[in-house]
Amino acid sequence: MPRSVPLVHSAPLVPTALLLAGVLALTACDGGVHGTPGGSGLRDRDPYFPKAGNGGYDVTHYDLALAYDPDTSRLSGTATLTARATQDLSAFNLDLDGLDVEKVTVGGDPARWNRTGRELTVRPHDDLDEGRAFRVTVTYSGTPKTVTDPDGSEEGWLPTDDGAVALGEPTGSAAWFPGNHHPSDKASYDLTVTVPEGLQAVSNGELTASRTSGARTTSHWHTAEPMASYLATLAIGDYDIHRTTTPDGLPVYTAVDPAQAAASRKVLAQIPAVISWSEDTFGPYPFSSTGAIVDRQGDAEYALETQNRPYFPGAPDTETLVHELAHQWFGDSVTPKTWRDMWLNEGFATYAEWLWAEDHGGDSAQKTFDELYTHGEDVYVDLWSFPPGKPSGAAHLSDSPVYQRGAMVLHQVRRQLGDTAFRALLRDWPTTHRHGNADTEDFTSYVEDLAPDKDFGPIWEQWLYGDGKPERSA
């Protein structure tokens, strides 16, 4: 099917006069059109990805039924989104990058739709009143895309030698299911996926059912806690599956490619210890299970904090495991309102590495800061190229200033607050915003409210927003 299909795609052609008469009849019956179309993208709210997400509604739940055959690279799916209108809607958009749409219904009734690029515009039979809950179901199929990000990395749907992996940061989830693909709209998920017998399908949340019939295996995963779509994952392949629990009873589910099993065993055995330390440092674990997915080296270019169980291309080291598990608090539970706030994810996760080392016999965070300030350009040539609070463009959201300088901002806050108050902040901030969204202004205001007698202005001006290398005394 071509990218753009006729607005009334499922009906035979009829004379214009009859179409007009039908529209007038519907208008008379419905009392006239009172809604307006929802926005196609958030634009001024998120200048880095202005077409990501959509306006006019909020998704509360995704129910995805998928089938994938690695031999043909064909994905077929039915996505049912439960949402609530945030304005009177005559139409709304879903993000879907590629794939062929076969049918769309709203509230069980056939809906008109059309495609423009990655925008799927849906026009329900009747307008949706503000505050109304509704369900939209999209049936689709095709070969899902691998998406190249502005920074050159690949996401979306990544074929592997034994299956595929879906990774979504920042916008790649639109390559395998339709939705409101912006971090500001979080929802719960149910994912039912069918694959050839002998392969496993691993996703977020908890595996609630699995059965094999007719040489096909169907698994059902449930994610109860709110999740941004960029954190959703689906890994299909041959995995060694291990189920354990932490000493506190938290389920641990790991899926490891057999080629990485030996190299991964020691570090994955540290998951309970890392979770325990993280809870002591950041507060109660925000989800109902944890774990990891370890694929072969080269299956992807990076590790990612996919909710509940981070994804690793090859066996991780301890520092990377700490980083991605820290993201379960910073990024997954407390999710940025826009991609401008990426440093709140990566700064905290990087600082978690510094704290882990400090608490486990390694360098103090102060020493790490000092080394980075003095010699950081030798390792991170772009370290001072832009401030973490103002990334220079979508292509630079994963550059060193967001990670390393973001952590340096937090260390400066620690120095200003003092250790006791800073350690309290590490627990209280993710608890206050648990399962929600926050931006940089929320964080700076939160810090200032903790210590109204202290001046954080120089930290924000020079370390968070200032250009170039700050003065050492700041």
Tens of pLDDT, residues 79-121: 999 999 999 999 999 999 999 999 999 999 999 999 999 999 9
170: cis peptide before it, omega within 30°?
Answer: yes
**Residues 209, 219 contacting (CB under 8 angstroms):** yes
For residue 6, give every residue at least 6 positions away whose Cβ sits within 8 Å of its Cβ, in sequence order, or none: 114
The two three-digit tokens of residue 126, written as one number: 């009747």
If you write DSSP's letter for every residue of 222-280 in order, what string do you get? EEEEEEEGGG--EEEE--EEEEEE-TT--EEEEEE-GGGHHHHHHHHTTHHHHHHHHHH
* Alpha-carbon dihedral angle through residues 379, 384, 387, 392, given to the nearest 10 degrees: -90
**Residues 79, 97 contacting (CB under 8 angstroms):** no
If you write DSSP's letter for every residue of 9-30 in order, what string do you get? TTS----HHHHHHHHHHHHHHH
**Residues 135, 81 contacting (CB under 8 angstroms):** yes
State the first-to-last Cα distance of the chain, in angstroms, to the nearest integer.
59
**Residues 293, 312 contacting (CB under 8 angstroms):** yes
Residues in the chain with pLDDT < 50? 1-32
* Residue 126 backbone class (left: φ over 0; alpha: ψ -120 to 50; beta: rest): beta
**Spatial distance between the Cα atoms of 404 and 348, rounded to a whole number of angstroms:** 10
**Residues 267, 287 contacting (CB under 8 angstroms):** no
Q: What is the pLDDT of residue 265?
A: 98
Q: What is the pLDDT of residue 33?
A: 57
Q: What is the pLDDT of residue 45?
A: 79
The CA distances from residue 236 to 9, 71, 76, 164, in Å, are 34, 12, 14, 5
**Spatial distance between the Cα atoms of 160 and 279, rounded to a whole number of angstroms:** 35
Query: Could you say which DSSP state residue 449 is in?
Result: H
* Alpha-carbon dihedral angle through residues 292, 294, 295, 300, given to the nearest 10 degrees: 70
If you write DSSP's letter for every residue of 346-411 in order, what string do you get? HHHHHHHHHHHHHHTTS--HHHHHHHHHHHHHHH-TTTTSS-TTS-SSGGGTTSHIIIIIHHHHHH
Q: What is the pLDDT of residue 44?
A: 72
**Residues 293, 310 contacting (CB under 8 angstroms):** yes
Q: What is the pLDDT of residue 12?
A: 31
Q: Is 160 helix (H, G, I), strand (E, B) or coil?
A: strand
Q: CA quadruple 175, 212, 306, 368: dihedral positive or negative?
A: negative
Question: Which of 104, 136, 78 lies closest to 8 in space, CA to CA?
Answer: 104
**Residue 6: CB atoms within 10 Å:** 12
